[in-house]
Chains A and B, each alone.
Chain A
């Protein structure tokens, strides 16, 4: 009995010590971050969602960040241009898996294992980029006031029906890297032969091509275009503002992981680390889920109907050459 008591006391002391040590590590990090000033983040997470996290971060730590939001393509371009010119202004890059892998290969990232990343499932940890904090899922979103849910398409193939000719909006696959990947990955959900035919038939319906996934969703919100290939989360995000949106329950839906990683030339390295620690933590992930994001926290789903039933299929990764080749191929199909 006495031995058990000793063991318990020793365990408790150890836990207390490590908690104190972690807290003092946090405190040191926050102190160093305060001295450095604001961390600079380039990312493709929507500004409104990011603002929610930053407000909570500011409240908890007293620290602040500067956030520049653009599409994944633009984020990667700006980061690489600055890095090559020897003038990187950013501390953290926050965007999709594939562009992050390309930037990793260009050697712009530092290895930082955040203590909060330990809570993620093992398969959600990339050895180079750290924790995949969320998945972005691409599907079909439509305006219920234009298309009645009963008449809505049931599959991707339904998008080829004559009633959607010239009425579908999607990001330009010759420009927008995530959409290039999505089109290039269609074989994963429909098989190679079907996918090749689908791509050509889809292009033949003359979809409206826009810069990225968000403007595509926004056009559905205003009713300008009734249906879009975009992130399914927008059905919730704009739905809560009153827009009559819903998404097609495709079953299998493709998407990409999202990461945030520290630059190896970060002008505010401690400030960057402090933000990563907070961002990957429970509090921030729950806030993200409430904003409609598919976070990698077990059992936590966005308040989107049937979100838990979506079968996530990860898109294929392309390298620089792969993107150039696909861009050329899709130019001939989509822009002819």
Chain B
């Protein structure tokens, strides 16, 4: 039988538009396509439309108003807006650049060299992805603040300095912390590309007499360039939209970036101005769209490079000789900064009655009271229940939509399947803050009462993180040979039966790995939740922030450690189902 005839959703030439529509609707998979397209369009376009609406209206949230340009005039005619844009770019480029340099070094050491303990380093590099970013920022404030930052205090004592050499409350400090937070994401992208790289080119260069350094410079780096650029652009967007680190470091240091400006001018001060916030939100969205477009271009190049591979051999491993110990030491130093130091500070905060620079007497006062407070606090249980519901429900909905979208875009030839890719592309670019503002405007007067309920947070999670799910499932679906589906169709199974009996079981490792990764992200989500939650639907991310604002540093650190432990367990399970590169 001809394979072409067996393809689901294939477009068939027709003489009339009516016939084409009738034929289109007669195939079940096309109905699925319409349903998925409808849901994705609603999820991404509806809040976008309302974000634009909010930015062009003059009345508060939920009140009908008049059309105006005033919000844009106020937001972008302010002379202080230009240093702000410059600061944001310096912050974005600096932290993305730092994350890429650190991630590249770490990926190269763990994947391409024979450095001792490299497997352990590879696993540890992902851990900061689990810690809520806000806790990493707070930890670094405790380590590097100019007055009593632990590292500064130690250096002052050891070197007899007059004052600590580091000041976290500066643009370099901001870049350093955000760079560390973003490194795991860059590591995932770069290490996946390194693993998938065809080693034959490097081997040919070596055969022709090139040194290891020459191979790295002439072959490895040019081949890795698209992945490095992809990681850099994605992290630039993540930095520009992040509020966690700027809230802890930039606000007290009076460094203005985009998100602090939104907070200071529009949302954090009185009277609140959601219209002005929406006008700023559109600005971030446009910048993010531009960079995510670039990211997509670089990623497609990465994919085209990776298609060169597919052979069953391991990438070329470089023997560093005695230098391998130096490589391991470098990786260890990096991981100490990324993982060990922040966790150590969190442990200090959670086991001391009140946080202070530890002295010998400190160890006599160690207490578990903060853990007790966490376990006895009803608000924690409620937030934990909310986050669990959001994580399990949101990840399931997300993966279901991602699996269907992935199937429709990768395996069918339905005309217009590119629209689905475009619709998923919008959430990639949607910064959490802007999406939350769009959702507030969109659902405040929505006929179904989801405003100020847990469902609006669920919508935000699903909308924003579908691309993560899609990435996990797409890499699996590409590897499934078409013959299996064709055999199912030959045996008389329809679309749904084939999807359920053949594709879902084969996609299961990718789907489960993606699902668990989404659960870990949803368990600590902050950027969108902080704007959307209401008192009854508070998840763990905002609760940690409010513990911080409430001065409950001890319970905050204890809760952060508990969430991280749960996420580590989940990730260990995920690793059993799938290798990390698939996500």
Contacts and interface: CB of A to CB of B under 8 A. Distances in A.
A81 B60 contact: yes
Contact of B270 (A66, A225, A323): A323
A190 B379 CA distance: 43
A235 to B, nearest CB: 13
Interface in A61-80: 66-71, 73-74, 76-77, 80
A214 B145 contact: no
Interface in A281-336: 320, 323-324, 327, 335
Interface in B104-158: 141-142, 145, 147-149
Main secondary structure on chain B at its contact with chain A? Answer: loop
Contacts of A324: 271
Interface string B232-270: 000000000000000000011010000000001001111
* A90, A223, A238, A320: residue with the most chain B Cβ atoms closer than 10 Å: A223
A76 B169 CA distance: 30
Contacts of A242: 353-354, 365
Given A214-B550, A225-B147, A81 B61 contact: yes
Interface residues of B, number: 45
B268 to A, nearest CB: 6
Nearest to A217: B551
Nearest to B444: A85
B221 interface: no
Given A222-B354, A222-B355, A223-B147, A323 B550 contact: no
B268 A81 contact: no
Contacts of B63: 84-85
Contacts of A174: 264, 269
Contact of A221 (B252, B354, B379): B354
A173 to B, nearest CB: 11
Contacts of B206: none
A74 B535 CA distance: 13
Contact of B354 (A70, A226, A243): A243
Nearest to B264: A175
The winner among B357, B551, B552 for most chain A CB atoms within 10 A is B551
A68 B452 CA distance: 13
A46 interface: yes
Contacts of A46: 550-551
A169 B60 CA distance: 33
Nearest to A213: B551
B546 interface: yes
A167 interface: yes
A272 to B, nearest CB: 14
A46 B449 CA distance: 31
Interface residues of A, number: 55
Most buried by A among B63, B354, B534, B553: B354
A127 interface: no
Nearest to A225: B147
A7 B398 CA distance: 78
Given A77-B270, A243-B354, A214 B551 contact: yes
A199 interface: no
B147 A226 contact: yes
Interface stretch (A17-25, A27-35, A203-211): A203-211
Given A85-B451, A175-B269, A223-B147, A40 B535 contact: yes
B535 A223 contact: no
Contact of A82 (B449, B452, B550, B552): B452
Given A89-B452, A223-B357, A175 B551 contact: no
Given A73-B268, A81-B272, A320-B271, A238 B251 contact: no
B268 A212 contact: no
A40 B536 CA distance: 9
Contacts of A158: none
Contact of A81 (B62, B264, B548, B551): B62
B208 interface: no
A117 interface: no
A211 B451 contact: no
Nearest to A54: B378
A91 B355 CA distance: 36
Given A175-B264, A224-B145, A218 B551 contact: yes
Given A209-B251, A209-B254, A224 B272 contact: no
B549 interface: yes
B74 interface: no
B217 interface: no
A149 interface: no
Contacts of B251: 172, 209-211
Contact of A222 (B270, B356, B452): B356
Nearest to B449: A87
Contacts of A81: 60-62, 272, 274
Interface in B45-93: 60-63
A58 B548 CA distance: 27
Interface string B539-558: 00000001011111100000
Given A209-B252, A224-B142, 9 more contacts: A66-B536, A69-B546, A77-B270, A172-B251, A175-B264, A222-B148, A223-B148, A224-B145, A324-B271
22 contacts: A40-B536, A47-B379, A47-B550, A48-B552, A68-B535, A77-B267, A80-B272, A81-B272, A84-B62, A85-B451, A169-B252, A172-B251, A209-B254, A222-B553, A224-B142, A224-B149, A225-B147, A226-B147, A242-B365, A320-B271, A327-B269, A335-B254
Interface of B: 60-63, 141-142, 145, 147-149, 169, 251-252, 254, 264, 267-272, 274, 353-357, 365, 379, 444-445, 449, 451-452, 534-536, 538, 546, 548-553
Shortest beta-carbon contacts, A-B, top 9: A85-B62, A68-B535, A218-B551, A77-B272, A175-B269, A223-B148, A85-B444, A241-B354, A214-B551
